[in-house]
A and B are shown apart, each in its own frame.
Chain A
């Protein structure tokens, strides 16, 4: 029986489409959800701050999209291992907390030698961390080779007076 040309073409189209769909099922399947807000109160302890800071860096902060911890080799962005120990010596006149805060609020002010600029302003969209969330991230970063000294009461350059609950991450026209 001779199969009509139109049927053959339809068969080829479906087969090719099916093949590409199949390839699409072979790669890792992962849904990426919008970042979950983590509640931070004024009485959060430094220990809790470190844990929350780590969670923020993995999630809402998107930090590990670029940065690594404990990786060697030709990296595109600075590795963060030991940052708590060396942060205080990076920029003359800035303490470790001030340097870490500056690297998030005004990242273009100091670029680690050997790397290109590329760090976004962390308290602005699309990342849009609140001041309290940034304090928690600083607490975690200090713990990488150093000691956490920051608390929820600490005020750093770049801090606004508002708290996490009062700010919103972008969405100006929609929210």
Chain B
């Protein structure tokens, strides 16, 4: 459009608008109105006027007499109240998990730097905390959003929770203030205090953050396994309500899972920076940062299934019905989806380690083992993802003699799955051990004996896991259930003892090749991002099962859900909601990454020569 035509178009648009308003006004005036020309005294009320007045008086009377009725539920447009609460709560949890996890490993990294007098670790810890301040604000905002949504959409249930946990709310709010104090002092005080004072601030931040999590966990675990109340739901003991059956298992599970999740998201940030890096130095730094983030994530990920066992055991102990709904009823197929996710996570984590071997000279001697590790992981993954019963037609069910496949059906039971996941953990640990040894040669005299001892430990642990897995098919269920404990313990013991031997064996080891940070294929960085997405999705899915287990109860066995959403949706629907939540989270965390990156950019005035700086005194 030319410059001359533009004002004409605006004029026509304004005139068009004025004509439309004029026509609308004229049409509205055609409605009947009482004559206004006659003097008020001579004016007689028309029947319509009288009718309207009566109607208004009646409405006013009704309004005045209206009793107060407490609403049980209020609707939410389009998606419904449950989905609205679900998405907001999950986003709050994801940001909270990140904000709780990053200070934990940032403090450890800072402490390592302080002990070893290595400033690289200090810088790395500082870089991790750059992601915190905006994430903290988003956590708080989503927390407030969730609270308002609960009050608006589920007023009666919220009121009940408040009545049970009234004593916990004030400490919660005060702890939030303390969290803000520690977090901002820790971040802005970096390099401004003595290292010890700064480390203490980090410790305070972690303690306060954990205390906040413990309180919030009490509320949500009470909904699953209520305690400390009478049969009618009245509060007897706040402490008993807090320390309910699933509280401590959830606390432990969440702390570990938060670290795994936080590490993976921090690694994704490093990957994003690596892929956009302009120099080798920058690439080297972010490669290292990604490695550390992923290392933190995998270290936390390995014991996570054990914490999961404990949580499941407590759920069974609280209510067999709920436990069986979880593993054998409405939610049993969800664990097949979980198996796909965890299998992908193990595969991706191992692949990243194998790619990482390439950045160290002397990796060839270990790379030949990768194909065997891959086969082992693939087999375990397949076993874990095999369902007990398969989706089949009536004819197929008849041919198989039931819904379970005559051969593959045996892999769908817990004996097989426990065995698969334990071997998977051992294999991933072995991958890490090989990566750790790349480019190093042990010089201690007992190196050969140490290697043999490690091999023996691995074989014994794997044999115990396999033996109990197979033996489980020949014993009663109550005996079989108990087998998971020695399986888990043998794997944990193997990992701890092999690590201890390795640390001593490779002390002062001869270096046959330094790590060339930054020299890793770019695909490795996409693997890190994939791991972060998978972790986030897994958290969303497991959050759903934890909450969904209550089915048509707000508070299990105490307060029924009588809303229109009091049914358990299909897994397909649940996964769609989880996916939408994950995508929203990544849009927001992308914003956090971008903001964190701004700190490294030059000021606008510096980037634009000749631009007014505005700061010069006149």
Do these two chains interact?
yes
Interface residue ranges of B282-335 to A (CB < 8 Å): 316, 319-322, 324-325, 328-330, 333-334
Binary contact readout A148-161 vs B (1 if CB under 8 angstroms, 0 otherwise): 00000000000000
Chain A residues, CB < 8 A from B42? none
CB distance from B170 to the nearest CB of A (A): 23
Q: How large is the interface on A (under 10, 10 to 19, 20 to 34, 35 or more residues)?
A: 35 or more
Chain A residues, CB < 8 A from B396? none
A29 adjacent to B571 (CB under 8 Å)? yes
B583 adjacent to A126 (CB under 8 Å)? no
Q: Does B478 make an interface contact (CB < 8 A)?
A: yes
Chain B residues, CB < 8 A from A169? 560
CA A16 – CA B371 in complex, angstroms? 25
Chain A residues, CB < 8 A from B336? 27
Binary contact readout A18-31 vs B (1 if CB under 8 angstroms, 0 otherwise): 10110111011111
CA A104 – CA B422 in complex, angstroms? 39
Chain B residues, CB < 8 A from A162? none
Instruction: Tell me which of A25, A124, A126, A127 has the highest count of chain B C-beta atoms within 10 A of its own C-beta.
Output: A126
Q: Does A92 make an interface contact (CB < 8 A)?
A: no
Q: Does A165 make an interface contact (CB < 8 A)?
A: no
B579 adjacent to A18 (CB under 8 Å)? yes
Q: Does A5 make an interface contact (CB < 8 A)?
A: yes
CB distance from A35 to the nearest CB of B (A): 8
Chain A residues, CB < 8 A from B551? 32, 34
Given A23-B575, A24-B575, A124-B231, A33-B160 contact (CB < 8 Å): no
A28 adjacent to B391 (CB under 8 Å)? yes
Interface of A is mostly: loop
Q: Does B21 make an interface contact (CB < 8 A)?
A: no
CB distance from A57 to the nearest CB of B (A): 13
CB nearest to A115 among chain B residues: B478
CB nearest to A18 among chain B residues: B579
Q: Does B125 make an interface contact (CB < 8 A)?
A: no
Binary contact readout B464-508 vs A (1 if CB under 8 angstroms, 0 otherwise): 000000000001111010000000000000000000000000000
B337 adjacent to A126 (CB under 8 Å)? no
CB nearest to A33 among chain B residues: B567
CA A28 – CA B568 in complex, angstroms? 13
Chain A residues, CB < 8 A from B276? 5
Inter-chain contact count A-B, CB under 8 Å? 154
CB distance from B2 to the nearest CB of A (A): 34
Q: Does A12 make an interface contact (CB < 8 A)?
A: yes
CB nearest to A119 among chain B residues: B320
Binary contact readout B239-254 vs A (1 if CB under 8 angstroms, 0 otherwise): 0000000000000000
Interface residue ranges of A71-130 to B (CB < 8 Å): 74-76, 114-116, 118-120, 124-127
Q: Does B554 make an interface contact (CB < 8 A)?
A: yes
Chain A residues, CB < 8 A from B272? 5, 9
CB nearest to B323 among chain A residues: A118
CA A94 – CA B329 in complex, angstroms? 33
CA A6 – CA B341 in complex, angstroms? 24
B324 adjacent to A23 (CB under 8 Å)? no
B321 adjacent to A126 (CB under 8 Å)? yes
Chain B residues, CB < 8 A from A17? 533, 537, 579, 582-583
Q: Does A70 make an interface contact (CB < 8 A)?
A: no
Q: Does A66 make an interface contact (CB < 8 A)?
A: yes
Q: Does A14 make an interface contact (CB < 8 A)?
A: yes
Q: Does B530 make an interface contact (CB < 8 A)?
A: yes
B330 adjacent to A20 (CB under 8 Å)? no
Q: Does B119 make an interface contact (CB < 8 A)?
A: no
A21 adjacent to B579 (CB under 8 Å)? yes
A34 adjacent to B567 (CB under 8 Å)? yes
CA A75 – CA B337 in complex, angstroms? 26
Chain B residues, CB < 8 A from A126? 319, 321-322, 553, 556-557
* New contact pairs (7) apart from A31-B569, A32-B330, A170-B553, CB-CB < 8 Å: A12-B533, A17-B579, A21-B576, A27-B333, A27-B572, A74-B475, A118-B320
Nearest 9 CB-CB pairings of A with B: A24-B575, A125-B557, A118-B320, A34-B552, A172-B232, A29-B570, A171-B560, A32-B568, A126-B557
- What are 27 A-B pairs with beta-carbon distances under 8 A? A8-B526, A12-B526, A13-B583, A14-B583, A16-B537, A17-B533, A18-B579, A20-B337, A25-B572, A29-B572, A31-B568, A32-B567, A34-B560, A65-B329, A76-B478, A114-B476, A116-B478, A120-B319, A120-B320, A124-B231, A126-B319, A126-B322, A126-B556, A170-B560, A172-B558, A174-B72, A175-B562
